Chain A
Amino acid sequence: MNETWILLGATSSMARAMARQLAGEGANLVLAGRDMADLEAQATDLALRGAASAKAARFDARDAATFAPIIDAAETLAGEGPINCAVFVGSMPPQDAIDADPSLIDGTVTDSFTGPARFLQMLAPKLEAKGKGLVIGVGSVAGDRGRIGNYVYGAAKSGFATYLSGLRNRLGRSGVHVMTVKPGFVDTAMTWDVEGMFLVASPAQVAAHMLKKGRKGRNVLYTPFFWRYIMAIIRSVPEPIFKKLSV
Chain B
Amino acid sequence: MSWKKHSWAGWGRVQSATGELARPERSAALAPLATEAPAIGNCRSYGDAALVSEGRAITMTRLDKILFFDEADGVIHVEAGATIADLARILAPKGFLPAVMPGTGFATVGGCIAMDVHGKNHHGAGSFGQHVTEITLASGKVLTPSHPLFKATVGGIGQTGPIASAKLKLLRAKVDVMMVTERRAENLENFLDLLDESEATYTVGWIDATATGEALGRGILEEGETGAGLVPPAKRGRKVPFNAPSWALAAPVVRLFNKLYYGRVPAAGRTLVKPIDDFFFPLDRIHDWNKLYGKKGFHQFQCVVPVTARGTLRSMLEAIATSGLASPLAVLKRMGPGRAGHLSFPMEGYTLAVDFRNRTGTRGLISELIAEAKAAGGRIYFAKDSVARAEDIPGMYPELAEWAEAVNAGDPEHHYETDLTKRLSLRSAK
Seen from chain A, the residues whose Cβ lies within 8 Å of a Cβ on chain B are: 11-13, 35, 37-38, 41-42, 44-45, 48-49, 188-189, 192-193
Question: Restricting to B38-80, which residues have a CB under 8 Å from any CB of A?
Answer: 62, 65-69
Complex interface: chain A residues within 8 A of B4 (CB): 192-193
Partner of B25, one of A11, A37, A41, A44: A11
B69 and A38 within 8 A (CB): no
| A201 CB, min distance to chain B CBs, angstroms | 15
Partner of A45, one of B2, B3, B28, B67: B67
Complex interface: chain A residues within 8 A of B90 (CB): 48-49
Partner of B65, one of A12, A45, A189, A192: A45
CA distance A101 to B273 in the complex (A): 66
A48 and B66 within 8 A (CB): yes
Q: Which residue of A lies closest to B94 (CB)?
A: A48
CB of B23 within 8 Å of the partner chain: yes
CA distance A68 to B419 in the complex (A): 53
CA distance A124 to B28 in the complex (A): 34
B23 and A38 within 8 A (CB): no
Complex interface: chain B residues within 8 A of A12 (CB): 25
CB of B26 within 8 Å of the partner chain: yes
CB of B27 within 8 Å of the partner chain: yes
Partner of A38, one of B3, B27, B66: B27
B28 and A35 within 8 A (CB): yes
CA distance A43 to B109 in the complex (A): 20
Question: Restricting to B19-35, which residues have a CB under 8 Å from any CB of A?
Answer: 23, 25-29
Q: Which residue of A lies closest to B22 (CB)?
A: A192
**A41-B67 in contact given A49-B90, A192-B4 (Cβ < 8 Å):** yes
Question: Restricting to B64-108, which residues have a CB under 8 Å from any CB of A?
Answer: 65-69, 90
B28 and A13 within 8 A (CB): no
A13 and B25 within 8 A (CB): yes
**Chain B 1-28 interface 0/1 with A at a Cβ cutoff of 8 Å (1 = within):** 0111000000000000000000101111
Complex interface: chain A residues within 8 A of B66 (CB): 44-45, 48-49
CA distance A189 to B3 in the complex (A): 11
CA distance A192 to B22 in the complex (A): 8
Complex interface: chain B residues within 8 A of A193 (CB): 2-4
Identify the 9 closest CB pairs spanning chains A and B, nearest first: A193-B2, A45-B65, A193-B4, A38-B26, A45-B66, A189-B25, A48-B66, A41-B65, A48-B69
Complex interface: chain A residues within 8 A of B68 (CB): 44
| A23 CB, min distance to chain B CBs, angstroms | 10
A35 and B67 within 8 A (CB): no
Seen from chain B, the residues whose Cβ lies within 8 Å of a Cβ on chain A are: 2-4, 23, 25-29, 62, 65-69, 90
Contacts A13-B62, A38-B28, A41-B67 given; 11 further ones with Cβ under 8 A? Answer: A35-B28, A37-B28, A38-B27, A41-B65, A42-B65, A44-B65, A44-B66, A188-B25, A189-B23, A189-B25, A193-B2
Partner of B27, one of A41, A44, A48, A192: A41
Q: Which residue of B lies closest to A50 (CB)?
A: B90
Complex interface: chain A residues within 8 A of B62 (CB): 13
Complex interface: chain B residues within 8 A of A42 (CB): 65
A35, A188, A192 — most chain B CB neighbours (10 Å): A192
| A105 CB, min distance to chain B CBs, angstroms | 23
| A178 CB, min distance to chain B CBs, angstroms | 27
Complex interface: chain A residues within 8 A of B3 (CB): 193
| A151 CB, min distance to chain B CBs, angstroms | 22
A-B contact pairs, 9 of them (CB 8 A): A11-B25, A11-B26, A13-B25, A35-B28, A38-B26, A38-B27, A49-B90, A189-B29, A192-B4
B2 and A192 within 8 A (CB): yes
Complex interface: chain A residues within 8 A of B23 (CB): 189, 192
Q: Which residue of B lies closest to A203 (CB)?
A: B62
Complex interface: chain A residues within 8 A of B69 (CB): 44, 48
CA distance A48 to B67 in the complex (A): 10
CA distance A176 to B251 in the complex (A): 63
A11, A38, A188 — most chain B CB neighbours (10 Å): A38
| A212 CB, min distance to chain B CBs, angstroms | 18
Complex interface: chain B residues within 8 A of A188 (CB): 25
CA distance A41 to B62 in the complex (A): 14
Q: Which residue of B lies closest to A187 (CB)?
A: B23
| B94 CB, min distance to chain A CBs, angstroms | 8
CA distance A42 to B28 in the complex (A): 13
| B109 CB, min distance to chain A CBs, angstroms | 13
Q: Which residue of A lies closest to B67 (CB)?
A: A41
CA distance A80 to B90 in the complex (A): 29
Complex interface: chain B residues within 8 A of A35 (CB): 26, 28
| B14 CB, min distance to chain A CBs, angstroms | 26
A38, A41, A42, A49 — most chain B CB neighbours (10 Å): A41
CA distance A193 to B28 in the complex (A): 19
| A17 CB, min distance to chain B CBs, angstroms | 10
CA distance A12 to B25 in the complex (A): 8
